[in-house]
Each structure stands twice: as C-alpha cells, then as structure tokens.
Amino acid sequence: MIVASYNIRKAIGSDRRRRPDRILDVLREVDADIIALQEADRRFGARQSALPLHMIAEHSDYMPVPFDIRPGSLGWHGNALLVRKAATILHHAPLTLPALEPRGAVLADIRLGGREIRVVGMHLDLSGLWRRRQAHAVMAHIQQQPRALPTVMMGDMNEWRRHGGCLSDFGQHYRFAETGPSFHARQPIARLDRIVVGEGLTVAETGVHRSLHARTASDHLPIWARLRFG
C-alpha cells in the first residue's frame, strides 16, 4: 500500500495563482492509495475546499473521507484524507488538538485490498511547545480507539530539526519513514513533512515527489511511502 502526505497550500502555487487542477495533476503522478492533505480548505469565509469536490470526483481516482464539518469543506482545520474510490471507510473522526491557534487532526480506519489500516493526518503548530502537546494528544486519541489497527500518521509537523521536540515524542512509540526534504518545493532543504508508522507496518520504500508540476503547484513537495503489512 502506498501512502502520501501533501501540504497543498490551499492550491496556491509558486506563481501565486490558485490552480486546483495542478494539485490534481500531482496527485495523479504520485498515485498513492491514501493521501493526507494539509491546508486543504480555504482560510477565510465559508472555508470551502481549495480542491472543489466535483473536481475530485470527476478528475481523480479518489474520494474524500467525509468529515462533514462545514458544507463544501474537505476536512478539519485544513486536514483532509483522500482514499481510492475502491476503499471502504470503516470509521472516521476529527481530532481536536491543544493549541493557541486553531489546529486539528483527522483519523480514519480504511479497508483497501483486503487490508485494514488506521490513518491520521495532521498539521502541527509553529510553536515547539504546542507541537509536543499536540503529538501527545494525537497518540492519546489513537490509544483511545476501541480496537487496534496498523497505524500510519502523516502530515506537516513544522519541525525543522532532524531530532528532538515532537519527533522524539513520536519516536518513542513509532518509526519514521526516511522520505527526505520536501520544503521549499523549489529548493527543498527542510523535512517538515513526515510519515510515521506503528506496529504491523514495515516501510519498504520512500520518496519525495519532485516533478515539474510538484515544484510549481505548492510550496511543499509531496512525500510518499510504500508500506508492507506484517
């Protein structure tokens, strides 16, 4: 199973134009089975999806996990999950995180290809103190789920260091996929975007998607990992 994480910056590219079609082009290139998106909803007004729902339905192989927080939005505090149309969504929930500014995460249990997996998408705070509190909150939410499943957590963790902070907190119980730097898209030097896996999953292959479309569609590049069960 291939998973990916992508901060789409509300579909605003390096040319400062909002082009959701470019984001969909990148998603087709990555061709992951499950994708965690950050900054997927617009920031102001009705906070509708930066990727129009009809475009996802008509021009991709994906469907959004229906968190239904606001009409026309894709997720919760900009976090969203896209899954193959062949997938079955067994359970889904928005997760409230401690924060000074609005922050959240999203969780879904997915069945695809006869396998079940728990997926968490997140976009953590700019403050290191709050990032650590949010990391503990995410892990606590996972622990509170009524049944255990192989779990992958993905998102923009806003952690510039390679070690320490929220990364050390996650690292006590989970393993990081070594995907490489993904920010800034034009000249990536920082590993702000991360994929973290728990028991029952093995990371077989990883990467950062560096196509021409990806370098212009957002200020982040998508990261991906091929996972094996068992």
Domain with residue 113: its CATH number is: 3.60.10.10
pLDDT band at 44 (very low <50, low <70, confident <90, very high): low
| 58-102 pLDDT tens trace | 999 999 999 978 777 898 999 999 999 999 999 999 999 998 888
Amino acid of residue 95:
L
What residues form DSSP beta bridges with 184? none
Half-sphere exposure of 8 (CA within 13 A, CB side): 32
Domain that holds residue 108: 2-229
> Residue 162 has what pLDDT?
79
> Residue 71 has what pLDDT?
78
| Confidence (pTM) | 0.96
Q: CA end-to-end span of the chain, whole Å? A: 12
| 11-31 pLDDT tens trace | 999 999 999 999 999 999 999
Contact (Cβ atoms closer than 8 angstroms) between residue 106 and residue 80: yes
pLDDT at 45 over 60: no
Q: How many domains does the chain have?
A: 1
